[in-house]
Amino acid sequence: LRVSSMKDTRLRKICRAAVIGALYAAVTLLLAPISYGNIQCRVSEALCILPWFFPETTWGLFIGCLLANLLGGNGPLDIVFGSLATLFACLLTARIKQRGIMLLPPVIVNAVMVGAMLAYVITPEAFWSTFPIFGLEVAAGELVAMVVLGLPLSFLLERIPYVKTYAEGIWKKKIDKP
């Protein structure tokens, strides 16, 4: 099939989001020892660059994170706030116009939300003194996932004709919006 003949139907978008969500959950659970806790590097978070190319993957990543946190997370607060952190980060990434800053929403949002959640769960009596530490630890792991894996993945994806054609349409819409 030629790229121009491939229509991006609603079903294709739902399937894309579902596959990405399943991949996120599988990678997170497969690498569980490094995916949870205050010192973590959730490799699957590298997939959070995908909403920059395919905004519909936001919902798949959210559901994948929700499943991963349900099956192996740090309890109810992680299920809620950890999953919401991924959702918010992906929603922001989908709105970013420049590649250089597309890596920042997952790092910042997870540092704040997951860092706060971990401080509350692990050291509630010392929340304010441990929150900055947990936040920096989460940000460091997130930065590793995004820079070491997410950034190269973004360059690789751009070399695929279908992705490039599809993404250029998304980017044009972003630029045309005020």
Q: What is the pLDDT of residue 3?
A: 47
Confidence of residue 130 (pLDDT cuts 50, 70, 90): very high
pLDDT, one tens digit per residue, over 13-31 is 999 999 999 999 999 999 9
- Three-state SS string over the chain comes to CCHHHCCCCHHHHHHHHHHHHHHHHHHHHHCHHHHCCCCCCCHHHHHHHHHHHCCCHHHHHHHHHHHHHHHHCCCHHHHHHHHHHHHHHHHHHHHCCCHHHCCHHHHHHHHHHHHHHHHHHHCHHHHHHHHHHHHHHHHHHHHHHHHHHHHHHHHHHHCCHHHHHHHHHHHHHHHHCC
Q: What is the pLDDT of residue 1?
A: 41
